[in-house]
Amino acid sequence: MYRGLSVIAIAPVLDEEEKIRHVVRRTPRPLVDEVLVVDDGSTDGSAEAARQEGARVHSMGRIAGVGAAIRAGYEIAIEGGYDVAVVMAGNNKDSPEEIPILLDPIADDLADFVQGSRYLKENADFGPMPFYRKVATRIHPWLFSWVAGRRVSESTNGFRALRCTLLEDPALRLDQRWLDEYELEPYLYIRTIRLGYRTQEVPVTKIYPPKAQGQTKMKPITGWWSMLRPLVYLGLGIRR
């Protein structure tokens, strides 16, 4: 319980046995009431590793996509009656210790949706962040801001918190199948802004591990089309 709010932290994971251990272990208890690891078809010991660290594990039963995994986590959050859902990376690039930074604007009733931004962090250290990611994570917010009608500094970071009542708004339409991959995260952010919910950015840490440890599962072309597709579809009115 964090300042009167019941909180669930959701971490989608795919074949990150060692990293998910650290994610669960680093999550601050009892500020977070439950850690939910959504296993997106892992073939290694990710699910068991998460359980050993005290997380609840929900198995997708196949590789459904990170968007589908996050959606499943949100559904469990609603069913569980939680006030706030936090999403964090299952590959240990986020800092779960910073969850209170995401929760404070909601607890203070200043925001319904809080977006973590690596670019608001002073003297930020991104680790060995791939060059194409440095470029893409700078371009995407510019395009996102144009489509959303609001200036943001970060639009590809999945480290965020939101009120679960927001998720129950049928106008969000998160059940669309084309959101099963990376599309869901920018789509949800844009729709939240367009629907008039209160949003806020806060500074958070995002550190990439050495390349030998696996930095990202996002592929340079297909993965980035997945992130750009909501901007194209919503910007041109192809989808709602």
| Domain boundaries, position 139 | 7-236
Q: Is residue 74 situated within a structural domain?
A: yes
- Least confident range from 205-214, 218-227, 231-240: namely 205-214
Residue 77 lies in a domain: yes
If we measure between CA atoms, which residue out of 145, 43, 50 comes closest to residue 88?
A: 50
Q: How far apart are CA 161 and CA 233, in angstroms?
A: 25
Confirm whether 187 is domain-assigned: yes
Looking at the chain, the whole-number percentage of residues with pLDDT higher than 90 is 82
Residue 1 domain-assigned (yes or no): no
Q: What CATH number is associated with residue 218?
A: 3.90.550.10
| pTM beyond cutoff 0.85 | yes
Asked if residue 2 belongs to a domain, the reply is no
Q: What are 125-166's pLDDT values in tens digits?
A: 766 676 667 777 889 999 999 999 999 999 999 999 999 999
How many domains is the chain partitioned into structurally? 1
Would 24 be classed as within a structural domain?
yes
Query: Is residue 27 a part of any domain in this protein?
Result: yes
Reported confidence tier of residue 215, pLDDT bands at 50, 70, 90: very low
What is the average pLDDT score of the chain?
A: 93
pLDDT digits 0-9 by tens, 14-30:
999 999 999 999 999 99
Residue 190 belongs to a domain? yes
Question: Could you report the per-residue pLDDT of 69-117, keeping only the tens digit for each?
Answer: 999 999 999 999 999 999 999 999 999 999 999 999 999 999 999 999 9
